Structure 1
Amino acid sequence: MPRVLDRRTVLKCLAAVAASTAFGCSDDDDEMPVVEDRTFYPQSVASGDPRPTSVVIWTRAIDPGNADADVPLTVQVALDDRFSQRVLDLKNVTVSSAHDHVLKVKVTGLSPRTTYFFRFLQERNGRLVSSPVGRTRTAPDASTDTPVRFVVANCQDYNGRYYNTWQRLLQLDEDLDCVVFLGDYIYETTPEATIPGTTRQVHFSEPDGALKLASSTGTVLAAASLSNYRDLYKTYRSDTFLQQVHERYPFVVTWDDHEFSDDCWDAHANYTDGRQDEAEPDRRRNSEQAFFEYIPLDPSDLPEGPVDIDAIPLYPDSRIWRSFDFGTRMRLIVTDYRSRRPDHLIPEDAWPAAVAVDAATLTALGVAGSFTSDTFAYVDISAPEYTAELGILRAAYVQLAVSEGLAQQDAETRAADAVKGPQALAFVNPILTQAGRAAISPTGKPRGIGFVHMGKTAIFSRLGSRYVVVKDTFDVYAAARDIATGGEAEDAYGAEQSAFVLSAAEGPPTWKVLISSVSPTTMVWDLSNKPDVEPATVRNRYYFDVDQWDGFPQERARLLGELRGRTQDRTVVVAGDIHAAFASVELGVPALTAPAISSSSVKEEAGSQVEAAGFPPSSAVYRYVVTEQDATLREGNPNIAFVDTDSHGFTVVEVQADVVRAAYHLIPSSEAHTSYADQPEALASHFTRKDFIIQGGGISMG
């Protein structure tokens, strides 16, 4: 407990203030002036994982005159911002280059629902050089019945973009228990060349340690080395507004994909869409080490004091799922969707003609009657009567694969493995016809679902595998894979984490808020009833993105059903990732998807995907799925109460006894390229607000 200041101590404080720019002193014997200097703490300070009696605090401390030197620090935590009521005064804590000069300290023995101030000090030339003063707050005690308020945020791309949303949150000066950050805190890629006209760009200090990726706008570097990932965090945390938010509120953070690699699963990247094996466990460990260095979290009930980062397990043993109780009102259940999940159900390198669901499986599922048309006919191309056709198809595969950059031998080996057995005539016959061979008649042939029927029209493609997938055929395929693998094909969390989530949901009768980095809201483009869409073959229902929960429909149903059953309509899923704002009810469970802080909106991304598929802005397809996307998504999923696919922002959530309130603060995504640092009044005028109430398993306007 802090000591009461006596008269002698008060006089010493007054003398120190009069003699310098000092702020705060204590009743001990050090009489050195205290001066704040951010150059010694270039990423400022932060705190995270607030519990009733503990919190983790963070800084990065350097010696500006010797970047490699170890830096001894004093860590102070107090009940006031002048540090006269200290509860922690930890001296001679050394930070070193081994962990990029970062320090995390778990502070324990604190009082529930209490605001604390913290700072870090370096002794320099007869004075104490202080970090900015951070403010944090502990969670309420388990027996306290009080509303809980937090902000939901995610996806803060830095390159060429400004954090106007963080600036707006600071303007509002919300009274919050924490900021819940849902992932994509960093983006692992940065242009190799400098972006013209902007200083908002990450530059790697060791570019040779990065991966080089080709793009339509030039070479992009993707972080691979530990140094690369550290550079990302250092640059992102140089932003003034992000620093100020960290200085003001504790964060509860999970990761999504970009902390490691876009659309990742386990330790696999997806940059080459199946052209190469992208299992990269060392790269994954590098990304996780930087994450644990720079994010103030308590992944496994750390002991008090300075955190030994070397003792935190990395892939494949890392664990960031955890839960937080905030009084009698709320339990946050934080999950990890990426580290244990299996691959996407449709392989990026799937040969479109390959039959994924055969006639016998369709019959077993009871849906064979829905797939009787000639479109779904297939043959066993390995049968002796199709020897010539088999040769043509394999030659076509090799030609396509070589044109995509594969070596001849590799292409031939893959062709032999992929082009065999059941093959869908919907893809086979156009190739045969182009080669001058007669098409194979579908009459009398079995019916099944090939990858082509799910939208896969090219090898080595994200279209038809991770994005723009035909819903009705994919759902059947997903169900078949789920049965065939005993659920393993969709086991996003893994057995240990799943057991943890369901156990946490069974606790006291509080609101259970599931923190999911990816959205459970179904995003469907329904073009099946659009006569102006050409060609007619694309008049289908499509999932836009099966990297999120739409890609694991059986597991989503099981998870939401279990949560609802355990919580009696007191479950809310809070999600991000998709760069859009949604409020929806999925399988009886309300879901709030927060928009991105700054990353390109889903409308922008959909535009690029649709054009890549060959539909220009003048087409009906483009109009429905880009220009009129919000309306199309509502039509495709009537459970959506609100959608905005072209705004940035954040969501303020307040958990009350019987209702949850959500306020979406939104700004057009086009404003991300403009800095409002010097025009805050103009920034405020660009924001709008949408309010909603969650009660009894439903969502209504607030």
Structure 2
Amino acid sequence: MDRRQFLKWSSFLTVSAASAGLTGCMGDNSDDGADGRNLSAAGKRFDLGVASGDPRPDSVVLWTRVDGGDGSKPLAVTVQLSDRADFSNLLVNQSLSADPGWDYTVRHKVTGLAAASFYYYRFLTGNAVSATGRTKTAPAAGSAPSQLKFAYITCQDWSVNHWGAFDEIAQLDLDFVMHVGDYIYETVGAGFQTGGNENRHPPLTLPNGTVRADGAIYATTLADYRYLYKSYRADPRIQAVHATFPVISIWDDHEFSDDCWQDRQVYYPGEGDTPNTPRRRNANQAWFEYTPADVSIDLSNPSFQNIQIYRSFNFGNLATLVMTDQRLYRADHIISEDSVPNTGLANIGSRYFVPQELLSATETAKIAAAGGDLQPVSILGDSQRIWWQQQMQGAAGAWKLWGNEVSLLRMGVDGTQAVAGMLGQGLAPALAQNFGLNLSPSQQQQLNGALYLDLKAADVSGATPVLSYANTQPQLASFSAAISAPVFAAALKPALDANLPPTMLLNKYILNADQWDGYNAERKALMAFLKNNNIGNVVGITGDIHAFFAGQVYDDFDLASPTPVMVDLVTAGISSNSLFSYFKNVVDTVPTFAKAKPLVYTTVNGQVVNTFTATLQTFNPWLKYADSDAQGYAVVTLTPAKLSCTFHKMGKLAKGTAPSPATVSKQTVEVLSGTPAVNVL
């Protein structure tokens, strides 16, 4: 080893310093490594390619996995890095060990690099040479880059739609790629994962796994999670992205378990009451092994919190990027899964379609019981929240980008108002057919308003509301004298009564309490911190929800006149089932919500028409752009003056093949410096 280099071991993240003028022959590994072990055994291949991550002005982390080990002995591997594509000037030529304890993966951090510079790297073992990777360091501290460009991605279920997006991303001119979670999906064979595989993705079979009641099998052992990462990384399209750009990654839930919190899984009611620490630790270790991240893990620590992945990055004086961990420290969902009726979809009432008043009251009670502490109702946890505040307040960059796994945007529905609209729209054809009354838009709005008042005044003591229609009948009579009280009672009231939904649908609902809507008190605390400290140009870079959204985040969404504080830009999943498909399944399969179907979709000439996007924007006007039925990715171009984000929507799988081009439409939104607002172009 060159005396100007150094090597250290820290949870198997090795480190060396770049030095010019090094020499070395490909595959010429010394017999002994830096730790004194014999490294004479060579591997055979690098089937999972190469990757880099966590670019800083003077360093980057390089990754590969060496094939050919027997599971008991380490393999010799050499890492080379150069500032030239032909490797004619080696800056690193370091012998390493690929250890079976880390599944023969290698994470090597190179320091001493020049800022804002391209580098090329590769790995060697025996006669095998890996693909060449290209990476790029971040701009220097204090520098003034004119532009930063990156793509961000999330939710790449192996078994749903296609991965054509990666072909496109690999061809872009980017500084880096961000992954905001759900790199793998821990289940195989779930209902939403059947029948949607592209031909290039054969079905997955976990080596161990645990069978759920619905027949799906979820990863449980370390071997299971490793198998998933190896399967996902075997795809040459995702390999091309990793080989072309450094990737800054964070996890969300599916790297461990759907909608998880800490070391708890919540597939069914009652599961969240019991820790599953071994499973969580297995998930942590596999993520660490297969992610080129500048973090460490302590396997001697018996806790599930044996790794810290929240961290920050600076890109000159243009941007600070804060990556958070919103699973390992979060509290249980505010409404316990055990406390709601089992609808067959265990998360209805606790995580989805949650009554807003109940959610708020329960959160308030939990805070009061904790003496005002937010910990029992927190996503970030106390320590990470303090760290987040410090990062935001001390940010070197004019823009503060927040790698934020779950959306900050309020997504709710006023059930009473929605039902009034559905009843009014449903009544319109009968008025036209029986009375020749074709309602104008103004009259339709007045009718809906009258129905709303009647619903508010209804007797809701039973399973179905009882209405007097004291406002609706006079309103209709004002449109047509023919609709007298007796005529209304005979001709219209029975149809209205027949379409009344269960009383419970007249609540105000939070649609997704697994995201920040379910942790409203902490969201308000974070927004108050930004507002009170005059911290502007904060933009959430968000995934998770399998839809595109762009909108403002307010200091308090429940105020009559809230103040916008920051912006949240949410990308759809690369391939995962859309948000729309989930809610369509709810109204199709849960009888309680069947009459809410028009809020989600209608059928015209046998074709499903999405109404869910319009419903979301009607009840949540801060959603300046929304597409609830999408797969895709986002590309951000950042300058001192503005942030431009283009959402790329993917076409659907066609006979097992991704369309070409994969993108079928694009939508660009902008955020101007100094203004927490979204402009849809």
| Percent of residue pairs identical | 31
Aligned equivalents of 1:70 and 1:654: distance in 2? 43
- Relative distance call for 1:637 and 1:497 in structure 2 (3 A) is same
CA contact (8 A) 1:313 1:319 kept: no
Q: 2:526 aligns with which of 555, 559, 562?
A: 559
- Residue 204 of structure 2 corresponds to 203
- Residue 310 of structure 2 corresponds to 321
- Residues 1:79 and 2:83 are matched in the alignment: yes
CA contact (8 A) 2:413 2:510 kept: yes
Paired residues for 1:226-625 under 5 Å: 226-274=222-270, 277-299=273-295, 315-350=304-339, 461-485=346-370, 486=372, 487-507=374-394, 508=396, 510-529=398-417, 530-531=419-420, 532=423, 534-535=500-501, 537=503, 538-587=505-554, 588=564, 589-614=566-591, 615-616=593-594, 619-623=597-601
CA contact (8 A) 2:393 2:535 kept: no
CA contact (8 A) 1:584 1:590 kept: yes
CA contact (8 A) 1:153 1:182 kept: yes
How far apart are 1:71 and its partner, in Å?
A: 2.0
After TM superposition, the structure 1 stretch with the greater mean CA deviation from structure 2, 320-329 or 490-499, is: 490-499
Aligned equivalents of 1:272 and 1:667: distance in 2? 32
- Relative distance call for 1:348 and 1:618 in structure 2 (3 A) is closer
Matched position secondary structure for 2:521: helix
Q: Deviations over 1:165-217 (max 9, x none)?
A: 112223xx32222111111011101129996785624534522xx111132xx
- Relative distance call for 1:584 and 1:543 in structure 2 (3 A) is same
Return the TM-score normalized by structure 2.
Answer: 0.75
Q: Deviations over 1:387-445 (max 9, x none)?
A: xxxxxxxxxxxxxxxxxxxxxxxxxxxxxxxxxxxxxxxxxxxxxxxxxxxxxxxxxxx
CA contact (8 A) 1:151 1:650 kept: yes
- Residue 649 of structure 2 corresponds to 666
Q: Deviations over 1:514-567 (max 9, x none)?
A: 111111111113332233263152133321110110101111111122134435
How far apart are 1:251 and its partner, in Å?
A: 0.8
Matched position secondary structure for 1:573: strand
Aligned equivalents of 2:122 and 2:380: distance in 1? 37
CA contact (8 A) 1:165 1:648 kept: no
Matched position secondary structure for 2:230: helix
- Relative distance call for 1:499 and 1:293 in structure 2 (3 A) is same
- Residue 166 of structure 1 corresponds to 166
Matched position secondary structure for 2:91: strand
- Residue 178 of structure 1 corresponds to 176
- Residue 50 of structure 1 corresponds to 55
- Relative distance call for 1:212 and 1:654 in structure 2 (3 A) is same
- Residue 635 of structure 1 corresponds to 618
Aligned equivalents of 1:29 and 1:474: distance in 2? 63
Paired residues for 1:4-23 under 5 Å: none
Q: Name the aligned partner's letter for residue 287 of structure 2.
A: F
Aligned equivalents of 1:316 and 1:33: distance in 2? 40
CA contact (8 A) 2:552 2:623 kept: yes
Return the TM-score normalized by structure 1.
Answer: 0.73
CA contact (8 A) 1:349 1:461 kept: no
How far apart are 1:478 and its partner, in Å?
A: 2.6
Aligned equivalents of 2:286 and 2:382: distance in 1? 27
CA contact (8 A) 1:63 1:69 kept: no
How far apart are 1:82 and its partner, in Å?
A: 0.7
Q: Name the aligned partner's letter for residue 189 of structure 1.
A: T
Q: Name the aligned partner's letter for residue 414 of structure 2.
A: D
Aligned equivalents of 2:187 and 2:654: distance in 1? 18
- Residue 130 of structure 2 corresponds to 131
- Relative distance call for 1:107 and 1:607 in structure 2 (3 A) is same
- Relative distance call for 1:474 and 1:31 in structure 2 (3 A) is closer
CA contact (8 A) 2:54 2:60 kept: yes
**5+ residue gaps, structure 2:** 3-20, 30-41, 424-498, 555-563, 603-607
Q: 1:683 aligns with which of 662, 674, 678?
A: 662
- Relative distance call for 1:69 and 1:199 in structure 2 (3 A) is farther
Matched position secondary structure for 1:224: coil
Q: Name the aligned partner's letter for residue 126 of structure 2.
A: E
Matched position secondary structure for 1:525: strand
- Relative distance call for 1:337 and 1:33 in structure 2 (3 A) is closer
Matched position secondary structure for 2:85: coil
After TM superposition, the structure 1 stretch with the greater mean CA deviation from structure 2, 189-198 or 70-79, is: 189-198
Q: 2:64 aligns with which of 48, 59, 68?
A: 59
- Residue 88 of structure 1 corresponds to 92
Aligned equivalents of 1:309 and 1:202: distance in 2? 33
Q: 2:109 aligns with which of 106, 110, 132?
A: 106
Aligned equivalents of 1:463 and 1:29: distance in 2? 61
Q: Deviations over 1:462-519 (max 9, x none)?
A: 1111111122442333333333332232122112111110001111352111111111
Matched position secondary structure for 1:598: coil
Aligned equivalents of 2:257 and 2:342: distance in 1? 25
Matched position secondary structure for 1:688: strand
- Residue 142 of structure 2 corresponds to 143
After TM superposition, the structure 1 stretch with the greater mean CA deviation from structure 2, 311-320 or 510-519, is: 311-320
Instruction: Tell me the number of residue pairs that the alignment of Structure 1 and Structure 2 aligns.
Output: 547
Aligned equivalents of 1:326 and 1:191: distance in 2? 42
- Residues 1:116 and 2:119 are matched in the alignment: yes
CA contact (8 A) 1:564 1:571 kept: no
- Relative distance call for 1:661 and 1:618 in structure 2 (3 A) is closer
Q: Deviations over 1:292-334 (max 9, x none)?
A: 000010126xxxxxxx885899622321111100010100011
Matched position secondary structure for 2:533: helix
Matched position secondary structure for 2:79: strand
Aligned equivalents of 1:233 and 1:101: distance in 2? 13
Matched position secondary structure for 1:469: strand
Aligned equivalents of 1:120 and 1:617: distance in 2? 59
- Relative distance call for 1:634 and 1:515 in structure 2 (3 A) is same
How far apart are 1:229 and its partner, in Å?
A: 0.3
Aligned equivalents of 1:470 and 1:673: distance in 2? 41
Matched position secondary structure for 1:462: coil
Q: Name the aligned partner's letter for residue 500 of structure 2.
A: E
Q: Name the aligned partner's letter for residue 43 of structure 1.
A: L
How far apart are 1:701 and its partner, in Å?
A: 2.2
CA contact (8 A) 1:606 1:626 kept: no
How far apart are 1:460 and its partner, in Å?
A: 8.9
Aligned equivalents of 2:380 and 2:263: distance in 1? 14
**5+ residue gaps, structure 1:** 3-25, 301-307, 353-455
CA contact (8 A) 1:329 1:511 kept: yes
Aligned equivalents of 1:257 and 1:32: distance in 2? 40
- Relative distance call for 1:558 and 1:474 in structure 2 (3 A) is same
CA contact (8 A) 2:549 2:623 kept: yes
